Amino acid sequence: MENGKKLYVGNLSYGVEAGDLQEMFSQFGTVESAVVITDRQTGRSKGFGFVEFATDAEAAAAVEGLNGQENGGRVLTVNVARPREERPRRSFGDRY
């Protein structure tokens, strides 16, 4: 599994923080990083994050164990993260 160590975690309740994510996933192995994505302006959670494991096997176990499970009243979506797509830079006001 290519880059299978990094997982996307979606449908998080807005109160979940990085430490909560690390704790939730650590039962499946060594969590190397856990981050909850927040809005730049408000600092509020966007309801998703990423968890990176030491090995692909640990990540696969976490997907198996947590995808579709309820957490904080919400059903989690856990799968292997896709590489970030390059998006064109937006310019504001430079309309030639």
Domain residue ranges in the chain: 12-73
Q: What is the pLDDT of residue 96?
A: 52
Q: Which long-range contacts (CB under 8 A, 24 or more apart) does 66-70 make?
A: 66/9, 66/24, 66/25, 66/28
Sequential pLDDT tens for the chain (96 residues): 345 799 999 999 999 999 999 999 999 999 999 999 999 999 999 999 999 999 999 999 999 999 999 999 999 999 999 887 887 777 666 555
Homologous superfamily of 12-73: RRM (RNA recognition motif) domain (3.30.70.330)
